[in-house]
Amino acid sequence: MYELMPLLLFLKDHPLVLGIIAWITLGLLWRIFARKKEIGEGEYGPFTIEIKRIVYSRYHQRCARCRHSENLHIHHTIPRADGGDNRISQLILLCPNHHAKAHDVLRAKGYL
């Protein structure tokens, strides 16, 4: 505690420095606590209706690769084994053909 005394005395005489330190600290705390959770973050498994609606509208109800518009699948671009989850930014809308191709790539990488 004694080592901190000169610092505390310095801060007592320089309220502006103290204010700046407090301001930076509050900013950091704000960033930690007010961090907005992305939809689907931390979730895995069945997609909620909200997630489906957002992904479908994001890709305009079409396959992201070929624009096919029937029997679409939502695919995880990052496998769970790699820390992926249901967050919107990691989901892509694919036709059965391109979904199968995506999984061929994953299989080749040794994920499945």
SS (H, E, C) 26-47: HHHHHHHHCCCCCCCCCCCCCC
Supply the minimum distance, in Å, between the C-beta of residue 20 and Zn ion.
50
| Sites for Zn ion among residues 9-68 (CB under 5 A) | 63, 65-66, 68
- 93 three-state secondary structure: strand
* CB closer to Zn ion out of 51 and 95: 95
Beta strands per DSSP E along 1-112: 73-76, 91-94
* CB closer to Zn ion out of 58 and 75: 75
Q: Which residues bind Zn ion (CB under 5 A)?
A: 63, 65-66, 68, 75, 95, 98
